[in-house]
Amino acid sequence: MGIRELLSEILTDEGHEVWLAENAGAARQARNTSRPDLVLLDIWMPDTDGITLLKEWAGGGQLTMPVIMMSGHGTIDTAVEATRIGALDFLEKPIALQKLLGAVKKGLAKAPMLVAGSLSLTAFSRSVPLRDLRKRLEQVASKSRSVMFRSAPGGIVELVARTLHLPGKAWLDLSQDSAPLTLEALRAASGGVLFAEELGHLSRLQQKNLMFAAERLEKYDLRLVAATTLDTAALLGQGWEETQLTYLFDVCLGVPALAELRDEIPEIATHLLTQLIESGEVSARRFSTAALNALRQHAWPGGYGELKSAVKSLTVAALEEEILPEDVLRLITLARSTSIAAAGLPPEVLMLPLREAREAFERLYFEHHIRLDGANMTRLAEKTGLERTHLYRKFKDLGLRPGKKEED
């Protein structure tokens, strides 16, 4: 208390408006209701330590202000850890007046340059399932630079993977680039994360990029985080080699579907909304309790990505500050009808037995790509992620006409 009041008097005399928080709970509440220009954060607090609170802010996209850590018992390792998470500076007690004022001046000058990060598991300090999942992830990641997730369909892969991403470091989504990965790109991404949300969606070139990077993680100080919902047989059918899969699945972690975390959905949605507001993408909004319950009741077959998209759509389209349950239900109903129409599936297809419905979908899928690529089998194999021999066999089974054997 004495140190808080002394620092407050000094900074008030310098013309700053100062708010005080006696513990992490009060600091968390203050941050949730306002956006300070700078935070002086002690490491030793009665309830939650400062490093943990810093991780929460970083993981929840709330580290949009400079944070200066303070401690009378700090070590070099603690200072390095705080800086790695995103702290701007580290002051040792007793704090010299000029050093304090210099650090505050430096921090306030830095403020406009900071932007919100991405949501990760570190934002969830009170959710037991997510907290336990984070601990398992950190334990696995401490043993290997490459981590593979076995995910259920509709999982939370990106939310989990972002937990290993350090502020200010590179995040390379290997599924978004079809150009060959170079040593220069790996060097530029040093300290960052290479990510692939679904191995089964990678083209042959993207598969090669992933393995090229996997062999050089240590050299370029990189992490590889990849995931799949498919079994080994399905991945082999899409062109992966058995030796590659053995290497990738050396260290593996199970990731639950969002539907398995129904009670955590309101908190995840609230954090996503806070992140959108903090980044300036939307105006101030809030979910009503009934709206959060409507989100909780939905199955979210598209997983974390579908929930993220829904939260953004709801906040952008909201006419009032409070988002209501009817807004949620309207969006979910529209999304269901739109997804069926976009897939080009006649409603009667959904009434067929699973095998016949799958064949109907596959026929529509390949006919779509034939129209786009003029039946060029080389490009079709690359786009669909299938070996050409498997692709010809699939065409024969579906009664489709194979295209040219060689690329123009």
353-400 pLDDT, tens digit per residue, is 777 777 777 877 787 777 666 667 777 777 777 777 777 778 877 777
Whole-number Cα distances in Å, 375 to 178, 381, 407: 20, 10, 10
pLDDT tens digits, residue range 19-42? 999 999 999 989 988 889 999 999
In the predicted model, is pLDDT for residue 1 greater than 90? no
Collapsing DSSP to helix, strand or coil, 195 comes out as strand
Residue 227, judged by CB atoms within 10 A of its CB (0-12, 13-18, 19+), counts as buried
Instruction: Answer yes or no: is pLDDT of 46 > 90.
Output: no
Could you tell me if 135 and 181 lie in one domain?
A: yes
Distance, CA of 118 to CA of 61 (rounded, Å): 6
Q: How far apart (Å, rounded) are the C-alpha atoms in residues 95 and 179?
A: 52
Take residue 42 and report the two structure tokens written for it: 């002690």
User: Is the predicted pLDDT of residue 43 greater than 80, yes or no?
Assistant: yes
CA atoms of 14 and 278, how far apart (whole Å) = 28
What is the rounded average pLDDT for all residues in the chain? 86
pLDDT at 115: 53
Domain that holds residue 289: 259-342
Are the C-beta atoms of residues 151 and 230 closer than 8 Å to each other? no
Count of the separate structural domains present in the chain = 4
Predicted pLDDT at 405: 43
Q: Choose among 343, 380, 342, 371: nearest CA to 358.
A: 343
At 370 the pLDDT is 75
Last residue of a domain, one of 66, 84, 114: 114
**pLDDT at position 192 over 50:** yes
- CA dihedral over 150, 57, 145, 383, signed as positive or negative: positive
* pLDDT for 341 beyond 70: no
39 and 58 assigned to the same domain? yes
| Confidence (pLDDT) at 339 | 56
Assigned domain for 404 exists: no
SS3 243: helix
| CATH assignment of the domain containing 132 | 3.40.50.300
pLDDT of residue 213: 96
Could you read off the pLDDT of 205-246 as tens digits, one per residue? Answer: 999 999 999 999 999 999 999 999 999 999 998 889 999 999
CA distance 159 to 224: 15
> CB of 223 within 8 A of CB of 164?
yes
| pLDDT score recorded for residue 85 | 85
Whether residue 128 is found in the same domain as residue 252: yes
Residue 323 pairs in a beta bridge with 287
CATH number, domain with residue 293: 1.10.8.60
Q: Is residue 406 pLDDT above 50, yes or no?
A: no
Scanning 162-220, the segments in alpha helix (DSSP H) are 183-188, 204-214
Of the pLDDT bands very low, low, confident and very high (cuts 50, 70, 90), residue 352 is low
Q: Are residues 134 and 108 in the same domain?
A: no
Query: Could you report the per-residue pLDDT of 113-132, keeping only the tens digit for each?
Result: 445 568 999 999 889 999 99
How high is the pLDDT of residue 402? Answer: 61
Q: Let me know whether 324 and 351 are in one domain.
A: no
Assigned domain for 55 exists: yes
Please report, for the chain, how many H helices and E strands are present, in that order.
18, 10
Q: Does pLDDT of 253 surpass 70?
A: yes
The secondary structure element, H or E, covering residue 157 is helix 157-161
